[in-house]
């Protein structure tokens, strides 16, 4: 799995100047225990996040997990649901869950794979 390569950019944009302060914020305010060392490793491409941390950061930054990991340059939490698509009334965490599911199914079935037909 590719490591997160956009954490620093997003962290600084949210006003978190230091990795240590951000690690404390994530632990104390977002409920996901993380150390300064973990944030440092992620920002320097030396670590793999837990799914809990990945989900927590994606939700906080309002981006998809794919964007965090550098798999896409679209920084929308739900790239497939833009311009008042069904589901716009969903809360951000639900949109992220839908986006994650969509990406997993696309990776599993891909274009012209499996038995699911595109409508």
Residues near 8 by beta carbon (within 8 Å), at least 6 away in sequence: 43
Answer whether residue 78 shows pLDDT above 70. Answer: no
Evaluate whether residue 43 is within a structural domain: yes
User: What's the domain count of the chain?
Assistant: 1
List pLDDT tens digits, range 99-114: 888 888 888 877 555 4
Task: Look at residue 1 in the predicted model and tell me its pLDDT.
Answer: 40
Indicate the pLDDT class of residue 28, thresholds 50, 70 and 90.
very high
Give residue 15's pLDDT. 93
Residue 104 domain-assigned?
yes
Question: pLDDT by residue (tens digit) across 46-72?
Answer: 878 899 999 999 999 988 888 888 888
Range of the domain at 31: 7-109
CB 77 within 8 A of CB 92: yes
């Amino acid at each position: 799995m590719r490591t997160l390569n956009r954490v620093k950019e997003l962290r600084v944009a949210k006003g978190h100047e230091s990795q240590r302060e951000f690690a404390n914020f994530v632990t104390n305010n977002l409920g996901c225990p993380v150390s300064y060392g973990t944030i440092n490793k992620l920002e320097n491409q030396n670590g793999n996040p837990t799914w809990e941390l990945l989900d927590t950061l994606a939700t906080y930054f309002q981006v998809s997990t794919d964007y965090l990991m550098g798999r896409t340059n679209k920084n929308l939490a739900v790239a497939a649901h833009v311009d008042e698509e069904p589901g716009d009334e969903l809360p951000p965490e639900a949109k992220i869950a839908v986006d994650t599911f969509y990406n997993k199914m696309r990776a599993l079935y891909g274009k012209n794979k499996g038995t699911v037909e595109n409508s």
